[in-house]
């Protein structure tokens, strides 16, 4: 497999608090890579660096082997990295297609005057959702009337609209029921089938072992373990997160 994203020796402090103390993360192209750890382990800070929300105090980030400076979220998007935060960042009162194209609306010209090309945005939105095997067909439905799983699909489509090669999903199943959680797991699997790389941040060990190919575990701002999820049970993963140390059972 090809390495698509790497973080080496990442450091970040907030005053006297050292959130990251030299963390590493290596993600292969087309995989689902989970990032786990207890509260305060450094997961959120590491993702902020990769998504361009924060700048590192030390270390380096590379995309496809080339060192990059992700100084802001726009720089991350330009590098092919899109982040879907836990709150999704959707506008509930707006329609599906409006959310997907929010900030990147398509235009056409009528008598030389630029106007919104709603029909093109609706058609393209349908294409994105079909690629995810979504059953949603009414692109004018308002997001506030959608289920949690359907809202995740809309957020994913917006990332695809930005032509993201890497999609970071922060706690995508938090506060969702069993059925909606399964919808999200299917969406992640579909993204992988379509060749999109997914970084999954989750406290659900069942979700991680169900869908992730590899997992990186942080502890006290450092990378503790990075391994395949092959043969890894939710219970074993929980033990690794809580106890730390090295994993002698890693098949790699």
Q: Dihedral through CA 202, CA 207, CA 210, CA 213, nearest 10?
A: -10
Q: State the pLDDT at residue 245.
A: 52
Domains of the chain plus CATH, in order, are 1-80+165-252 (3.40.50.300), 86-162 (no CATH)
- Binned at pLDDT 50, 70 and 90, residue 251 comes out as very low
- Statement: residue 38 has pLDDT above 50: yes
Strands 166-170 and 197-201: parallel
- 24 — phi, psi (to 5°)? -120, 150
* DSSP strands (E only) in the chain: 3-14, 17-28, 32-36, 58-63, 66-68, 81-84, 107-110, 113-116, 166-170, 197-201, 214-219, 222-228
Express each pLDDT in 200-249 by its tens digit: 999 999 999 999 999 999 999 999 999 999 999 999 999 999 886 554 44
Give residue 46's Cα distance to chain centre: 13
152-189 pLDDT, tens digit each: 999 999 999 999 999 999 999 988 899 999 999 999 99
State mean pLDDT over 74-85. 95
Q: Output the CA torsion 200→206→211→214 (10° steps).
A: 70
pLDDT of residue 175: 82
234 phi, psi to nearest 5 deg: -55, -40
Could you read off the pLDDT of 109-137 as tens digits, one per residue?
998 899 999 999 999 999 999 999 998 99
The pLDDT value given to residue 111? 87
Say what the pTM is: 0.92
Determine what percent of the chain falls in helix, strand and coil, rounding each to the nearest 5: 35, 30, 35
List C-alpha distances in Å: 87 to 84, 141, 142, 173, 174.
8, 19, 17, 11, 10
Q: What is the structure's pLDDT at 121?
A: 97
Give the residue-averaged pLDDT of 32-57.
95
pLDDT, averaged across the chain: 93
pLDDT at 114: 92
Mean pLDDT of 44-57: 96
Q: At residue 142, does pLDDT exceed 90?
A: yes
Q: At residue 66, does pLDDT exceed 90?
A: yes
Angle in degrees, 0-180, between the axes of helices 178-193 and 148-161, rounded to the nearest 10: 20
């Amino acid at each position: 497999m090809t390495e698509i994203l790497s973080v080496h020796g990442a450091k970040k402090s907030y005053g006297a608090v050292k959130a990251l103390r030299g963390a590493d993360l290596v993600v292969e192209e087309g995989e689902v890579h989970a990032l786990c750890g207890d509260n305060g382990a450094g997961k959120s800070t590491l993702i902020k660096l990769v998504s361009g929300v924060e700048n590192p105090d030390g270390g380096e980030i590379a995309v496809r082997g080339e060192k990059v400076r992700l100084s802001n979220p726009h720089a991350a998007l330009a590098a092919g990295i899109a982040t879907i935060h836990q709150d999704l960042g959707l506008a509930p009162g707006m329609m599906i297609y409006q959310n997907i194209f929010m900030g990147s609306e398509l235009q056409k010209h009528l008598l030389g005057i630029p106007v919104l090309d709603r029909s093109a945005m609706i058609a393209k939105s349908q294409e994105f959702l079909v690629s995810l095997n979504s059953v949603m067909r009414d692109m004018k439905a308002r997001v506030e009337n959608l289920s949690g799983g359907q809202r995740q699909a809309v957020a994913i489509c917006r990332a695809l609209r930005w032509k993201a090669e890497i999609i970071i999903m922060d706690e995508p199943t938090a506060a969702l029921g069993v059925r909606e959680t399964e919808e999200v797991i299917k969406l992640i699997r579909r993204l992988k089938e379509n060749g999109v790389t997914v970084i999954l941040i989750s406290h659900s060990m069942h979700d991680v072992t169900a869908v992730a190919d590899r997992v990186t575990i942080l502890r006290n701002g450092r990378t503790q373990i990075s391994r395949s999820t092959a043969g890894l049970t939710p219970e074993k993963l929980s033990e690794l997160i809580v106890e730390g140390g090295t994993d002698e059972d890693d098949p790699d």
